[in-house]
Amino acid sequence: MATIPAGTYVIDGSHTDVAFSVRHAGISKVRGKFEKVEGTITVGENLAESVANITIDASSVNTGDANRDGHLRSADFWDAESKPTWTFVSTGVEGDGAEFVLKGDLTINGVTKPVALDVEFNGSVVDAFGYPRIGFSASTEISRKEFDLTWNAAMETGGFLVGDKVKVLLEVEANPQA
């Protein structure tokens, strides 16, 4: 079993991805990611004492389509101008070892809801430049409606243009805090 080295780590934004996918028109999925993410992870001697705080720049969304990205940033979706950040603040850890559940409060669009992230510790290394790093993969699924992200359009054939369930995937790399 891999042991997560205790300490405080800073998320390396250039090696971290916060991605999402949502059903579109009931027949495909739109994927996107956020280009700007920061935060800290403090790993306790006992994993249950660990905490994580993550901030995402809501305007940094990138789905590969500038028009769609602009619509997502607008008041129709998350109004990035007046609500510029999303946050995750952990409230507890369940399990011990390489796989565990990180519970916390996720705030999107000014609405805070509890979520549970399924987390896998990917290991710790000292890179080719002599810097220690740790890595995690995490995932969860949220409901857009629970975060007041309700814009949609009815389709002639029934159903709606944008699905409610959003899968969120994180690939996090972090370095010890200086």
Answer yes or no: is 2 within a domain: no
* 61/117 Cα distance (integer angstroms): 21
Q: Over the stretch 142-178, which tens digit does the pLDDT of each residue have?
A: 999 998 887 777 777 777 778 889 999 999 999 998 7
Torsion angle defined by CA atoms of residues 115, 93, 120 and 38, in that order, rounded to the nearest 10 degrees: 70
Query: Tell me: the pLDDT tens digits for 105-155?
Result: 999 989 999 999 999 999 998 888 888 899 999 999 999 999 888 777 777
Alpha carbon 4 to its chain centroid, in Å, reads: 20
Residue-range definition of the domain harbouring residue 78: 7-176
Residue 1 located in a structural domain: no
Domain at 96, CATH number: 2.40.128.110
- Whether residue 14 lies inside any domain: the answer is yes
**Predicted confidence (pLDDT) per residue in 12-37, tens digit:** 999 999 999 988 877 779 999 999 99
Residue 1's pLDDT is what?
A: 45
Residue 148 lies in a domain: yes
| Of 54-63, 90-99, 102-111, minimum mean pLDDT range | 90-99
Number of domains in the chain: 1
